[in-house]
Structure 1
């Protein structure tokens, strides 16, 4: 098992829909314990770092992309990742029974990128807090990667000329 939307995350989505509002995923937490997540979880089991999102986007309906920067003296072999709403609710948790999901050493800076695909769920009122400029698409102005000559004739839709 990997990502699991918690009971609290589902309840927040139902409440948001009833109130006609959106809740935002605003923070990522990383912890040291590896286990099989449960629906009843309200926190990570051994959280060592939590950071606000540094960038986010909604590439398509039900798809969330976001990044968080972890820096400083903290060192970890992250085996659990929590996705927190703006009110601190643990929306979802990812842990794979001991597999290392994120690795950071002391006095280093890492940027972790995360993708959530909620397209197969009924979660409609959970979004990612958009920080900074979004990634550019053919329909949306934003940040884009510039392509290389080798990729110009390929089917690469991720970069631009």
Structure 2
């Protein structure tokens, strides 16, 4: 996955959002703003990118996106329930029509047998619709895992909006 591929995914997502006059919000943890960076590399993205939340800590997820503390305690920061709540929170705290969320374990440390390094949970939410979520197990070093997470977040967002 190259920067050119990420740029192309972001460009295509922007075109799809623009054609529907939709805005996007992001909620990122392990990618640390990389999704937002890929989006804002596209000239004119201010027409379709509303805002991004970087919520690296559990406290930030709760304070900025209203992720339930019980979810964080019971499911962990890297869980589909958490990213669903992150995506819903991004919609609730923005004017966006579509939100995406990502949280994972990029390594090299922090993995467990249940959630090894490379585990990334993603969610996408369209306003007034049920969110979509998934868990991936990416391979490679920290940068490769994060890059794959960014690509997946953008690609599924694009697929969702094209199918809408």
Give me the TM-score of the superposition, normalised by structure 1: 0.26
Q: Greater strand percent: which structure?
A: 1
Structure having the higher Rg: 1
Relative contact order, CA 8 A, sep 6+: which one is greater? 1
Q: Greater helix percent: which structure?
A: 2
